[in-house]
């Protein structure tokens, strides 16, 4: 069945009466960066044979769209390093054109944006998230281990020329970028980008102790309030960020606070890995294999049943804690598996 056809399927509702309308898909676990909070220096990636083809990813995403998902975000690893990834964006863009999907978007480190910004826009993408934790080129390379800030800034220019709206994501890192957060607010105001700060989450073994990286956003917010007038805002993007408006710049400033303020009660999303494993919560281990039902038959009946069964198991929320007694990962997988 064509997912762009009007659907009479009942919506996906979890046991806590939350409607699942947002799917995030990690299209690859690989990346051209090795950010210190996300990956260890020596990562073992999945064998290519385990990874779903782009056609299979399209079929899976389209099944979710038919079951009522209205927003799709492709992420990773770095989504734009997957070979021929634009064919997936173009394919999924048909659901934007048909009206079955409200938004097709991407979270990227920006390294390939100069190449792809125009094609993303043509495929139907309008807003993108670009992760930049610092505006200092040396620090940028230290955090990402392999990245170059000027390449990402070229990518941002290409995005602007292509007419894409950019939101910057920055992970707040103690002793690393905490002296720069003011500067980032000012820069995003000047460039016209929304900005979201994220608390570091205890996912995967990354080498260093998480407690050394963790900077509570409650502290960031009170420090920023000394310099900026932060006004409450009811702006929402369907994600977990809570937004303020920076009066002096007019820009929006979001805070994603999985540690200091748990937002699970309004969770509307599930996450698919590039092997077809569905995680119903970023911070829990329970998962459902959708690859076997996908491959079991060309009809989507078995697949739809597996998706519904998985949603019926969505847990209430995560249990992230970082303190002196909890310095290790809450879940063993890295953020790059489920895509942030």
Q: Which of residues 192-211 bind ligand SAM (CB under 6 A)?
A: 198, 200-201, 203
Q: With respect to ligand SAM, which residue has the nearer C-beta, 64 or 320?
A: 320
Stretch of 33-41, 57-65, 114-122, 283-291 contacting ligand SF4, by CB under 6 A: 33-41
Helix H or strand E encompassing 307: helix 301-311
For residue 209, count other CB atoms closer than 10 A to its CB. Answer: 11
Q: Which of residues 146-185 bind ligand SAM (CB under 6 A)?
A: 169, 171
Which of 28, 62, 105, 107: binder of ligand SAM (CB under 6 A)?
107
User: What is the layout of strands, in order, in the sheet containing 242-246?
Assistant: 230-232, 242-246, 252-256, 194-199, 165-172, 127-131, 103-108, 71-75, 22-26, 269-272, 277-279, 287-289
- Assess 144 for contact with ligand SAM (CB under 6 A): no
Q: How many residues bind ligand SAM (CB under 6 A)?
A: 20
Q: With respect to ligand SF4, which residue has the nearer C-beta, 129 or 249?
A: 129
Choose the contact partner of 116 out of ligand SF4, ligand SAM, none; CB within 5 to 8 A by kind. none
- Assess 340 for contact with ligand SAM (CB under 6 A): yes
- Assess 155 for contact with ligand SF4 (CB under 6 A): no
Tokens read off for 60: 């899976």
CB of 282 to ligand SAM, least distance (A): 10
- Assess 34 for contact with ligand SF4 (CB under 6 A): yes
Q: With respect to ligand SF4, which residue has the nearer C-beta, 31 or 185?
A: 31
Choose the contact partner of 34 out of ligand SF4, ligand SAM, none; CB within 5 to 8 A by kind. ligand SF4
Choose the contact partner of 201 out of ligand SF4, ligand SAM, none; CB within 5 to 8 A by kind. ligand SAM
Percent of the chain as helix, strand, coil, to the nearest 5: 35, 20, 45
- Assess 77 for contact with ligand SF4 (CB under 6 A): yes
CA neighbor of 76 nearest in space, from 23, 117, 25: 25
> Residue 320 phi/psi, 5° resolution?
-65, 135
- Assess 331 for contact with ligand SF4 (CB under 6 A): no
Which of 58, 78, 194, 300: binder of ligand SF4 (CB under 6 A)?
78
Tokens read off for 124: 């139907």
Q: With respect to ligand SAM, which residue has the nearer C-beta, 66 or 271?
A: 271
84: burial class by Cβ within 10 Å (0-12, 13-18, 19+)?
exposed
Query: E strands along the chain, which residues?
Result: 22-26, 71-75, 103-108, 127-131, 165-172, 194-199, 230-232, 242-246, 252-256, 269-272, 277-279, 287-289
DSSP 266: G
Roughly how many angstroms between the first and final C-alpha of the chain, as a whole number?
Answer: 31
CB of 24 to ligand SAM, least distance (A): 9
Q: In this structure, are residues 253 and 245 in contact, taking their beta carbons and an 8 Å threshold?
A: yes
Which of 105, 108, 177, 268: binder of ligand SAM (CB under 6 A)?
108
Helix and strand totals (H; E) in the chain: 11, 12
Q: Applying CB under 6 A, which residues contact ligand SF4?
A: 31, 33-35, 38-39, 76-78, 109, 131, 144, 335-336
Q: Applying CB under 6 A, which residues contact ligand SAM?
A: 31, 37-38, 75-76, 78, 107-109, 131, 169, 171, 198, 200-201, 203, 335-336, 339-340
């Amino acid at each position: 069945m064509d997912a762009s056809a009007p659907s009479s399927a009942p919506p996906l509702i979890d046991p806590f009466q939350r409607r699942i309308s947002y799917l995030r898909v990690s299209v690859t676990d690989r990346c051209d960066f090795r950010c210190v909070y996300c990956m260890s220096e020596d990562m073992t990636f999945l064998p290519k044979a385990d990874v779903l083809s782009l056609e299979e990813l399209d079929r899976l995403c389209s099944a979710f769209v038919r079951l009522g998902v209205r927003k799709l975000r492709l992420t990773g690893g770095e989504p734009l390093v997957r070979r021929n990834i634009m064919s997936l964006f173009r394919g999924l863009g048909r659901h934007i054109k048909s009206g079955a999907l409200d938004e097709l978007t991407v979270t990227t480190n920006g390294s390939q944006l100069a190449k792809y910004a125009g094609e993303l826009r043509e495929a139907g993408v309008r807003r993108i998230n670009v992760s930049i934790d610092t505006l200092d080129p040396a620090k940028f390379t230290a955090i990402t281990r392999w990245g170059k800030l000027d390449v990402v800034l070229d990518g941002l220019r290409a995005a602007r020329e292509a007419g894409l709206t950019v939101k910057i994501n920055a992970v707040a890192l103690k002793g690393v970028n905490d002296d720069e957060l003011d500067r980032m607010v000012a820069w995003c105001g000047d460039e016209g980008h929304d900005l979201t700060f994220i608390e570091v989450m205890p996912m995967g073994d990354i080498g260093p102790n998480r407690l050394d990286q963790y900077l509570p956003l409650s502290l960031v917010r009170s420090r920023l309030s000394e310099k900026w007038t932060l006004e409450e805002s009811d702006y929402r993007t369907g994600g977990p960020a809570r937004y303020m408006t920076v009066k002096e710049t007019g820009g929006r400033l979001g805070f994603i606070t999985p540690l200091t303020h748990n937002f699970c009660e309004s969770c509307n999303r599930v996450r698919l890995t590039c092997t077809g494993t569905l995680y119903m919560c970023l911070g829990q281990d329970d998962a459902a294999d959708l690859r076997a039902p996908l491959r079991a038959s060309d009809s989507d009946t078995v697949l739809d049943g597996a998706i519904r069964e998985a949603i019926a198991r969505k847990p209430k929320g995560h249990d992230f804690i970082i303190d002196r007694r909890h310095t290790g990962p809450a879940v063993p997988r890295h953020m790059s598996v489920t895509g942030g």
